Chains A and B, each alone.
Chain A
Amino acid sequence: MWILRSLILGGLFCVSACSMLSPKAEYIPEGDELKAAVVGVPYLLKINILGGRVIDGWYESEPDYKPGLVTPNDAGIFLRNCRLPESKTESFLPKTPLYNGNCIEVYGTPTKAGELKIKIDGGMYGSMIAPASEFSKEYKINVTQP
């Protein structure tokens, strides 16, 4: 068993210079379109990024950190990382808001009708056997008049 493991490790080392093993991002929701929004109606939707640990946005997020871009940026819709659940953070001191870098909330109250574009991108940590990787994903939100 030990020899087998060592062989596997050796093999992994040999291929570690390529990106075959790098984390590949998958998203929930899938597809390119998020649920539609209505002008004047509060909107909230979570996007989960799977496949690897997203490099930024974890725990004490920097004040100016934005996990993506909304276009146009004056449509009343914004992005932020999801808060970690209380059960996760209750033992942490100091008790500050702590965030999940692999989860993004699309939130706000749309102010005008039309098509919004949401772009999220970033990097995922690698490991000893897999280099880091980058991801990028675009969604559309159709905003209608009430």
Chain B
Amino acid sequence: MTVYRLSTRIHSNAPSDSILYDLCIYRMDSERKRFLLIDVKQQPIQANYETLKHSTDNISESLTTIYIMEVTLYRKTMLHTHCVTASPFTRMYTLEELASGKAWSSVKRENPCYFVTSGTSKLESEGGNIVSVNISKQDRPFIAEQYPVGGPQDPFEKSIIEEQIKNRFNHITYPNQNVGSLCGPAAFFYCLQMDRPDVYAQAAKDLWQFGKTKIGALEIAPGDGCRHPEGSFFRNGTRPKILGVDWMTLASLRDSENSILDFDTLDSPVAGITLWQTLTEWFEKAGYIKVFSNVGATQAGIQGMQDLNNYVQKGYKVVSLINDSLLEGSSSERATYPTHWIVWGGPAVQGIDRAVHLNLFSWGQMQDQIKPGKDLSFFINRFFGGLVFKPIK
């Protein structure tokens, strides 16, 4: 058990003694229940624009646990104190960063900001006094080449992205790669969405706002091509080929990983293998702990399936490699090499008709998606084991 003293920084040119802040630091569980670490109101900022160091309760938490930090700023005048942030500034940091004074960014706009002009106003009757104020605004990081900002089909329009993030936060929809060969990133983001919907939502928000994010130690910083994708986002002009939130999260993760092939177009998307080493690295950097693996290029057999059943029944995350012909509606059954990552939603079971059933996440759905009526040997031939992680909290 440890008491931590947490702080962050703001950026401002106003006198520090005229600024107050609210600071709320929390995490959520998979059911979106909030666990508060710090919740203080209208505190004075220090002369170097650092917040005070606020003590936590005596807690037993991993230093890699990710917390959401919410900051609201106030300006104090002689007459009254008024809020100067339209909505709280949110950012995520690990407990270690918050406790070691590293919970801030060297990029000004990635911190809570409050700036005032130094010009003074005069009454018009006292003579013309024009003060010029330059307010810079960076371009939005994600702009599709064919759908400019303000256009009717802009896939990254603010309210559309907010609605998509809200649906993911509330587990109404799930990551769906659609035309992208992004099953590995989808498996990762599905697990994150289920375990830490607050972190998923903050990562998507960061990507929209800043064009990059950091989930624990996992840095996602897509290149210019990925942030300005070419090609049509819609089939027949209306049906989305991929949602904006999925492009920002799934394609960005792939693009950050792959420095050789850019992920920058929807018209001729490239396929790409996510090897288990890469997937493991993503999970571990985000704070997951790998507890077991029987994944490989060869079939894992019945014992491999039973091993994963044991883990999934104990609540572990099981991310499994299969040949996608195992799934309903999918392609040729002749090929039996690994092609697709899924996430198990429960144990694989055999019905009285000997058909195998498995609730699983794939292609934006959590359902029993195993082809109907297929027996154990059909399953085993298309099953290449999996990775098992302890869920993050």
Residues of A within 8 A of B (CB): 1-2, 5-6, 8-9, 12-13, 16-17, 19, 21, 23, 51-56, 58-59, 85, 87-88, 91-92, 98, 100-102, 121-132, 134
The chain B residue with its CB closest to the CB of A121 is: B236
Q: What are 13 residue pairs bridging A and B, where the CB atoms are less than 8 Å apart in the complex?
A: A5-B298, A6-B297, A52-B329, A53-B330, A53-B363, A58-B363, A125-B178, A125-B363, A126-B269, A128-B338, A128-B340, A131-B271, A132-B269
Given A58-B328, A121-B235, A123-B241: 16 more A-B contacts, CB < 8 Å: A5-B298, A13-B273, A16-B271, A17-B270, A53-B330, A54-B329, A58-B329, A58-B365, A59-B365, A91-B368, A100-B328, A122-B235, A125-B177, A125-B330, A128-B340, A132-B179
The answer to whether B297 touches A5 (Cβ under 8 A) is yes
Residues of B within 8 A of A (CB): 177-181, 183-184, 235-236, 239, 241, 261, 268-274, 296-298, 324, 327-332, 337-341, 357, 363, 365, 367-368, 372
The answer to whether A5 touches B269 (Cβ under 8 A) is no
List the B side residues contacting A100 at CB < 8 Å. 328-329
Q: Give the residue of A8, A85, A101, A127 whose beta carbon is less than 8 angstroms from that of B324.
A: A127
Given A53-B324, A132-B178, A9–B297 Cβ distance below 8 Å? yes
A29 CB to nearest B CB, Å: 18
The answer to whether A126 touches B179 (Cβ under 8 A) is yes
Complex: how many Å from CA A129 to CA B274?
Answer: 10
Given A6-B297, A53-B329, A127–B339 Cβ distance below 8 Å? yes
Which 10 residue pairs are nearest across A and B when measured between Cβ atoms? Answer: A127-B339, A53-B329, A5-B297, A16-B271, A132-B179, A102-B329, A17-B270, A128-B273, A52-B331, A53-B330
The chain B residue with its CB closest to the CB of A1 is: B298
List the A side residues contacting B296 at CB < 8 Å. 2
Given A5-B297, A5-B298, A123–B235 Cβ distance below 8 Å? yes
B240 CB to nearest A CB, Å: 9
Complex: how many Å from CA A53 to CA B329?
Answer: 4
Majority SS at the chain A contact face: loop
Complex: how many Å from CA A23 to CA B341?
Answer: 17
List the A side residues contacting B261 at CB < 8 Å. 17
B337 CB to nearest A CB, Å: 6
A120 CB to nearest B CB, Å: 11
The answer to whether A5 touches B337 (Cβ under 8 A) is yes
List the B side residues contacting A127 at CB < 8 Å. 181, 183, 271, 324, 331, 339-340
List the B side residues contacting A122 at CB < 8 Å. 235, 239
The answer to whether A9 touches B337 (Cβ under 8 A) is yes
The answer to whether A52 touches B235 (Cβ under 8 A) is no
**Considering residues B180, B298, B329, B340, which has the most beta carbons from chain A within 10 angstroms of its beta carbon?**
B329
The answer to whether A16 touches B272 (Cβ under 8 A) is yes
List the A side residues contacting B339 at CB < 8 Å. 127-130
The answer to whether B324 touches A2 (Cβ under 8 A) is no
List the A side residues contacting B329 at CB < 8 Å. 52-54, 58, 100-102
List the A side residues contacting B274 at CB < 8 Å. 128
Q: Give the residue of B178, B268, B327, B341 whose beta carbon is less than 8 angstroms from that of A123.
A: B178
The chain A residue with its CB closest to the CB of B370 is: A88
List the B side residues contacting A132 at CB < 8 Å. 178-181, 269
Complex: how many Å from CA A126 to CA B184?
Answer: 12
Complex: how many Å from CA A37 to CA B201?
Answer: 51
The answer to whether A8 touches B337 (Cβ under 8 A) is yes
List the A side residues contacting B179 at CB < 8 Å. 55, 123, 126, 131-132
List the B side residues contacting A55 at CB < 8 Å. 178-179, 363
B164 CB to nearest A CB, Å: 14
The chain A residue with its CB closest to the CB of B330 is: A53
